[in-house]
Amino acid sequence: MTERRRLRRKLLPRKPNIDKPLEQDCLFLVDRDPLAQQGIVVLLPDVKEEKDVPFYHPILRKLAFEYRPSSSFQESDDPNIVPRGKIRISALPFPSSGSDGTNSVQDALSARAETGTVVNKLLPQRTIRTCMHLLETLYKHAWGAERGYEKRVIHDVSGFNTYFDALC
């Protein structure tokens, strides 16, 4: 894998009087082979300890999601054929969380499905719910992109402070 893009973003809380903003690095990695069409997005929150993570962010050192196309998929000119693949979400908890390394959210979900009980040894339930929401969002955006969705409104908030200061 090679790094295609790196960006730094600032996540703003809904309740700024309770939580603080969080800066996060986002790495976009792609396979060296352009025909492989696989990639990984790694989210790295800029925190040193578990207690520094705000409520609105999962308590993780790293979170990654990876797309791997199905090996049986063949490129086609037919627009009705939808590419198939798998998305895998992996999480790296803090050392103090009691986990011994990278955990796959899918492992936690399959263990929960097999036993019918909540699996707290792998990841906290809140983190699993957050990752499930991430999967739903990824599916929604992929579904829209597949059907030609184009954003119609551009929300420009960068000039908001200048505009607001001029009013006051």
Kindly report the backbone phi and psi dihedral angles of residue 24, in degrees, each rounded to the nearest multiple of 5, phi listed first: -145, 135
Locate the domains of the chain by residue range. Answer: 2-167
Q: What is the pLDDT along the chain (168 residues), one digit of tens a residue?
A: 888 999 999 999 888 899 899 999 999 999 888 777 788 999 999 998 888 888 888 888 999 988 888 765 555 556 666 667 788 888 888 886 554 444 455 555 555 444 444 444 567 788 888 888 888 888 888 888 778 888 777 766 655 555 555 554
Q: Where are the beta strands (DSSP E) in 31-167?
A: 39-45, 62-69, 85-92, 103-104
Residue with tokens 């996540």: 11
- DSSP string across 90-109: EEE--GGGT--S-EEHHHHH
- Predicted local confidence at residue 80, as pLDDT: 64
Torsion of CA 2, 40, 114, 137, to 10 degrees: 180
Nearest Cα neighbor of 38 from 4, 65, 66 is 66
- Alpha-carbon distance 91 to 65, whole Å? 9
Distance, CA of 54 to chain centre? 17
Which amino acid is located at 129 in the chain?
R
pLDDT at 74: 59
What pairs with residue 9 in β-bridges?
Answer: 24
